[in-house]
Structure 1
Amino acid sequence: MEQLYFEGKVKVLAVSNYDVPEVQELLSYARVKPAFIQNKYDIFTQGGQAPWVPSILQFAQENNIRVQGYCGLNSWPHQLAAVNNAHVKWVAAKYRKTPAQTILRWAFQQGVTMLTRSESTEHQLESLDIFDFTINDLDMQLLNAQITLFSPYFVPWMHDMFRCLFVFLLFFPFSSLKFFSLMSFVLLIGLCWRLCFLVFQLFKKFFLKTKKYQKFRIKLKNLFLKVKQKISYPKIRVLHHFLFALLWFHFLLSFHH
């Protein structure tokens, strides 16, 4: 892409779905700084891939990079759409605007450029009618706080909980060896994945210099995107809750015996 930029075939370069560590990594070797960072942006997912990661907006502004938000009005990839949030509706009624206009104005006041998919002329006119009002600081804080109330992601200590469950299953007297083997195998995979991630962090600078790693990373990312297209997020959550319920059922059964 940088070659296309130097040849004058493209005017700017941009990245999508990048968090602060990934952008920092990119800036460490890129010859052309990205002009935009395009991420999912609404009151629940404010630019980061998870609520506990550093603010992509603050980092981008400090490095003179624009943030472009997508899917700010719909629920993708989760269940609750921002326009259906009760606090958004309350703020919208206060300023006599629609929930969609309120969210677009909220993003605009933060310096975020929002992408909207307009299916009709009415939608386009609605999206443009956000420049005749200003959301006050108190209401902005209310909307910003929704990320702490309605997060669709796992909390940071979720991995630690699974590791504790693995240790518990390892030493608890089991009445079903087959079930123990199955669940231990599932948790062991998660633990190995976490260990691989920690090893990668330790030798990150070494891996980044190798071309084979760069090609492997691109292939892995493309594979992940293909799997993500076929398996929706709600299905993954159902599978997670099912496995977790099996763990507790086996615990109660073992305790009974």
Structure 2
Amino acid sequence: MSDPAPDLLELRGVSKHFGSFRAVDDVGFTVRAGARHAVIGPNGAGKSTLFGLVSGTLAATTGSLLLDGRDVTRLPVHRRVGLGIAATFQHSSLFLPETVLENVLLAALRRAGAGAGARTGLGGRRRAGTRAAATARARTLLERVGLPTRHDVPAAELSHGERRQLEVAVALATEPRLLLLDEPAAGMSPAETERLTRLIAALPDDVTVLLVEHDLDMVFELADTVTVMHLGNHLTTGTPDEVRASAEVQSAYLGTTEVTS
């Protein structure tokens, strides 16, 4: 039997207080490398706040977050991106006037440090080579997420589902070790959700996924590990079957109704 995968992300007693309101209170759990780990819970459970703490858009009040053993609790978003944390959010962060390809290319060039040539005096030939390699990578990523024929379309003209696919491509262009997805299926049709689920499931094993999601059908089809939050607290973490069978989850999250989706 092979050894279990090491933990990539660890939350230790993480809290976020807004005045006297404790949106997230002393939450701790780990995310294994290569996992498809979902965070669920009813409205007001603290899921989106927790997402902000991991992505860096919110600062923790107490506790710590470790990425592969390194404390990233106080690092800003761009530093976390440099260490391999990428995120997509509920509200689109795409450059809508730009084409699909240009959105991914920009992220790929940033990852490649294309701006360094101008700062260090490197020649145009080297910068051109960097751009060519980044363009090739951007095209490959667009094929992976199911947008191989949409390169020249402005992002503003994409459907909601296609924008989600593009956001995943942009995030992957940063070569993340940990991909954070905030309500990726929000506003999608069943067909779009199914396509996105297949896309996430097909991501390489070296990309760990942590997603916050309300769509339980998507969660239980995709996730190998599920964390349940309730009123800002960590209720339980386990396999989908363990979460379905938990009386504590059924009582606190779904009343007396069993989690069957």
TM-score by length of 1: 0.21
Q: Of Structure 1 and Structure 2, which has the larger fraction of its residues in helix?
A: 1
Larger strand fraction of residues: 2
| Structure of higher RCO (CA pairs closer than 8 Å, 6+ residues apart) | 2
The structure having more radius of gyration, on CA atoms, is 1
